[in-house]
Amino acid sequence: MAYDTFKYNITKSVGIISERTDHNGIKWIKEVNMVSWNDREPKIDIREWNEDHSRMGRGLTLTTEEEEMLCMILHEHMRERSK
């Protein structure tokens, strides 16, 4: 399979982190979604998308175990920061 051809399906929208408009007037939305890449099992995915999800930026896709570890790390970081 060529690197520039792949399939994706957003199976669940989890939440929006932020929104911005670039210098071309295109709105980009940083989202947390469950995404199935190339018909595989959906994974948690964090990246920017344009409004109709036809274009995407670089992102981060995590397994369930990685998602849990990230949550623990961020929780500890926030706890330490609030001291």
Q: Residue 16: what pLDDT?
A: 98
Sign of CA dihedral 64, 66, 67, 72: positive
Structural domains in the chain?
8-81 (2.30.31.70)
Q: How far apart are CA 33 and CA 45, in angstroms?
A: 5
Q: Residue 3: what pLDDT?
A: 57
Supply the DSSP symbol for 63. -
> What is the pTM assigned to this prediction?
0.87
pLDDT tens for 26-74 read 999 999 999 999 999 999 999 999 999 999 999 999 999 999 999 999 9
Task: Evaluate whether 28 touches 49 at the Cβ level (below 8 Å).
Answer: yes
